[in-house]
């Protein structure tokens, strides 16, 4: 839940040798602060543990968690692929010089413009449903362009996560059920008859914030068995399987941490052993970690405002940010932990809700937080905010989006703070 290299000096929070209070003063708050060293450690963790001498293993970063050009540079440095979900994602990657043929392009309702861009730049497209496959075929026929695809199927695995982030149930908006034989048959016949669109293999994603090994192994088993059935039934040579992501991280003290090293290595072991047993060992396998790469490597810094005790005996500590820079607690009851960064050794003796400044009663970042006694101008540090915080940030109430700083040897701004003039840039 806390950054790997967080330490305390003189009652103050540091990441490695960088004083976070100094960072807050220099770059203002609210502020997202990533430790670049931990980011790169997390990338290396998957690359080092998701590997095999029997097939090619690809770690594909799920960019929806957090994407800026500086992140693209780190992905290239460590040999990761990228998972994109919109034309905006594709464009950021393209303008950042990311190799477009190492992009897996997702989405349940891709537009014609998005598909045309992905085809033009040789991305691997994850097709969501039959109608999309027909549209993609038409685009490729019109442009006489070959494209490699995967097709998203739902294995029917109930990962124990919030219903908003379960993605492989029978009623999910994503993909098609692998048990819907009629629909799968129509899809496969479209592929068999296509001159330009090639099916590399199938993709699945069973949910997010999964904390147990077993669902990942069950997904491996189901996906390999399903792929072998398709190969045999349609005499269609598949080469790949994409097992998606969902690798959870701890946010609060009671969260059970997923052993990512063990999970990645066990998946590889099962792919190899089961693949040999059933007669299908894919030449290329993919996983798509996002949150587990960026989540714990970031903290958000806020400046404390007033402390309010209500007639109803509720304490509020106000901060200079809120749901515009972290919508997750309001969206699906996400939990976080925090500290006063300039009082790290002080006793935690105050229980309060950490309240944002938006005009919403639900603008609460943390309910019943146990923290050091806060005072105005203290710096509140909220842990594990690297995933889905900046990428979901909004201008509700005309709030300004915070800056993003990467800490390597020195702080570096990788996304500047919005200005008041930025709020007017789309208006006429």
CA distance 292 to 170: 26
Looking only at the bridges linking them, the beta strands covering 12-15 and 6-9 are antiparallel
Spell out the residues 6+ positions from residue 387 whose beta carbon is closer than 8 angstroms to its own.
65, 66, 249, 290, 291, 294, 295
Q: Which two tokens stand for residue 190?
A: 């479209």
One DSSP character per residue, 229-268 reads HHHHHHT----EEE----B----STT-----HHHHHHHHH
Spell out the residues 6+ positions from residue 320 whose beta carbon is closer than 8 angstroms to its own.
29, 30, 302, 303, 305, 357
Q: What value does the CA radius of gyration of the chain take, rounded to a whole number of Å?
A: 23
Q: Exactly one of 57, 338, 352, 359 is catalytic; name it.
A: 359
Q: Where are the alpha helices (DSSP H) in 13-150?
A: 20-27, 36-49, 69-78, 87-95, 112-120, 130-143
CA distance 164 to 313: 33
Q: Give the residue from 21, 6, 33 showing the smallest Cα distance to 342.
A: 21
Q: Catalytic residue at 359?
A: yes
Backbone angles phi, psi at 23, to 5 degrees: -65, -45
With H, G, I as helix, E, B as strand and everything else as coil, classify residue 75. Answer: helix
CA distance 153 to 238: 15
Residues 137 and 149: beta-carbon distance below 8 Å: no
Q: Which residues carry out catalysis?
A: 359
């Amino acid at each position: 839940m806390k950054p790997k290299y967080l330490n305390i000096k003189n009652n103050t929070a540091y990441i490695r040798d960088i004083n976070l209070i100094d960072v807050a003063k220099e770059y203002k708050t609210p502020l997202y602060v990533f430790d670049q060293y931990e980011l790169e450690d997390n990338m290396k963790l998957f690359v080092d543990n998701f590997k095999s001498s029997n097939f090619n293993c690809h770690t594909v970063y799920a960019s929806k968690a957090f994407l800026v050009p500086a992140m693209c540079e780190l992905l290239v440095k460590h040999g990761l692929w990228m998972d994109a979900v919109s034309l905006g994602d594709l464009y950021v990657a393209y303008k950042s010089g990311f190799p477009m043929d190492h992009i897996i392009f997702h989405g349940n309702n891709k537009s014609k413009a998005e598909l045309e861009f992905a085809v033009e730049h040789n991305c691997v497209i994850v097709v969501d449903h039959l109608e999309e496959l027909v549209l993609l075929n038409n685009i490729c026929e019109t442009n006489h362009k070959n494209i490699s695809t995967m097709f998203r199927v739902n294995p029917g695995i109930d990962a124990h996560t919030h219903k908003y982030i379960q993605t492989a149930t029978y009623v999910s908006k994503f993909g098609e059920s692998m048990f819907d034989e009629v629909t799968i048959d129509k899809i496969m016949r479209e592929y068999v008859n296509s001159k330009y669109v090639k099916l590399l293999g199938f993709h699945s994603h069973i949910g997010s914030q999964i904390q147990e090994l077993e669902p990942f192994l069950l997904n491996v088993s189901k996906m390999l068995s399903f792929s072998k059935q398709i190969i045999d039934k349609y005499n269609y040579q598949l080469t790949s399987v994409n097992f998606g992501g969902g690798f959870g991280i701890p946010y609060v003290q009671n969260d059970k941490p997923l052993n990512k090293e063990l999970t990645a290595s066990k998946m590889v072991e099962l792919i190899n052993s089961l693949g040999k047993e059933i007669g299908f060992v894919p030449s290329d396998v993919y996983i798509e970690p996002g949150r587990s790469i960026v989540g714990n490597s970031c903290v958000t810094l806020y400046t404390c405002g007033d402390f309010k005790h209500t007639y109803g005996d509720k304490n509020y500590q106000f901060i200079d940010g809120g749901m515009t820079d972290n919508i997750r607690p309001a969206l699906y009851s996400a939990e976080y932990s925090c500290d006063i960064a300039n009082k790290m050794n002080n006793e935690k003796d105050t229980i309060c809700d950490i309240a944002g400044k938006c005009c919403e009663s639900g603008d609460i970042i943390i309910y019943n937080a146990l923290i050091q006694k806060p005072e105005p101008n203290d710096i509140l540090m909220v842990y594990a905010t690297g995933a889905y915080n900046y990428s979901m940030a909004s201008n509700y109430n005309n709030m300004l989006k915070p800056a993003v700083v990467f800490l390597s040897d020195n702080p570096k701004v990788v996304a500047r703070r919005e200005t008041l003039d930025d709020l007017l840039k789309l208006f006429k």
